[in-house]
Amino acid sequence: MTTPATTEHDRAELLALITAAVTNLVRQWQRLTTAQDTLLASLKRIERGFGATARIRPLINDFYGQVGEFDRLARAVAERWAGQDLPVAYRDGALRALEKAGADIRLFTWTSDHQAALTGLTATFYVDLVQRITETVRRAQAFARAAQDAARQVTLGLNHDTIDAPRLAADHPLTTIVYANQARHPVQSWATSALTWQGVVTANHGAINVARLELDAQWMQVRDGDECGWTSHQDTDHADGTLRTVDECAYYPSAHHGCVRELIPRPDLNGRTGLVSGDPA
């Protein structure tokens, strides 16, 4: 059995889903960063004098309003991604796997097994996205408190003539995602990496599960980047063009963020002796 190499056309629908979701997420983060810039600019214009402190609170409230909108709309993107887009990715992965295995695509239906597999994936990925959104809201609230305190210091004559807007923005960056190791990544690159990972893993699980459940396949053929290793990009056990068991594929549906791995069922190899994982297809 020979299988053509993966092309962008093969995953056009998946790539379109990822691009749309990334665009929507980034748009909501831009709403937040615009609100931050607006607040800082407004606070800089407040001068000392009677009633100055009272003018701060409405500006802070406006910012909190934008934080609330960010939280609501970003969560809506995450909900659509998990509830609508990832099921499409799973189904697309399953159908493409059947097609490339030379099987009837009508073999795939939303059985309880497929539904359960998808539910586990989407629940995990949804939580991951919401955690990022929640953390950003917390950071935005911390920024608002710091900006309010700085503005009050100025109006009371306890600090400089104006707030240090660049310092506040640098200390509370809302244009980046902060990882557990304190590494900062631009929202665009984080969203692209995270959603591509989730989309590819979901599509590949669709392929893995249809291979196992509908085709009773024991082996899968791997398509991947020329230099990509099986367990990680640096792994010297290169994945592209090799055979792996279905169980191994379930454990490594993708090697790393940005991985382009595709898994193709090989039911024609069932029962063949002498095959070893990592053999060329």
**In angstroms, rounded to a whole number, what is the distance separating the alpha carbons of residues 1 and 15?**
27
Cα angle at 157 between 39 and 173, to 5 degrees? 30
Inside any domain, residue 149: yes
Domain with 147 in it: 8-218
Inside any domain, residue 85: yes
Yes or no: say if 92 and 206 are a contact pair by the CB < 8 Å rule. Answer: yes
Inside any domain, residue 239: no
Inside any domain, residue 62: yes
Q: What's the mean pLDDT in 160-182?
A: 86
Cα 85 from chain centre: 12
**In angstroms, rounded to a whole number, what is the distance separating the alpha carbons of residues 13 and 30?**
26
279 Cβ partners below 8 Å, 6+ apart?
A: 242, 243
Amino acid identity of residue 155, one-letter, is T
Inside any domain, residue 214: yes
Q: What's the mean pLDDT in 7-19?
A: 76
Per 3-state DSSP, what percentage of the chain is helix, strand, and coil (rounded to 5)? 65, 10, 30
Antiparallel, parallel or unpaired: β 176-178 and 184-186: antiparallel
Inside any domain, residue 234: no
Instruction: State the chain's mean pLDDT as an integer.
Output: 90
Q: What's the mean pLDDT in 46-60?
A: 75
30 Cβ partners below 8 Å, 6+ apart?
A: none
Closest CA to 47 of 165, 169, 157: 157
Q: What's the mean pLDDT in 164-175?
A: 92
Residue 186 pLDDT grade (very low, low, confident, very high; cuts 50, 70, 90): very high
Inside any domain, residue 243: no
Q: What's the mean pLDDT in 112-127?
A: 97
**In angstroms, rounded to a whole number, what is the distance separating the alpha carbons of residues 117 and 89?**
13
| pLDDT at site 51 | 57
The string of pLDDT tens digits covering residues 19-40 is: 999 999 999 999 999 999 999 9
**In angstroms, rounded to a whole number, what is the distance separating the alpha carbons of residues 213 and 208?**
9
206 or 164: whose pLDDT is higher?
A: 206
**In angstroms, rounded to a whole number, what is the distance separating the alpha carbons of residues 70 and 48?**
32
**61 burial level (CB within 10 Å; 0-12, 13-18, 19+):** exposed
Inside any domain, residue 273: no
221-260 in b/e burial notation, b at 16+ Cβ within 10 A?
Answer: bbbbbeebbbeeeeeeebbbebbbebebbbebbbbbeebb
| pLDDT at site 212 | 96
**In angstroms, rounded to a whole number, what is the distance separating the alpha carbons of residues 242 and 248?**
12
**In angstroms, rounded to a whole number, what is the distance separating the alpha carbons of residues 112 and 127?**
22
Residue 101 pLDDT grade (very low, low, confident, very high; cuts 50, 70, 90): very high
When divided into structural domains, the chain yields a total of 1
175 or 79: whose pLDDT is higher?
A: 79
**DSSP tag of 267:** G
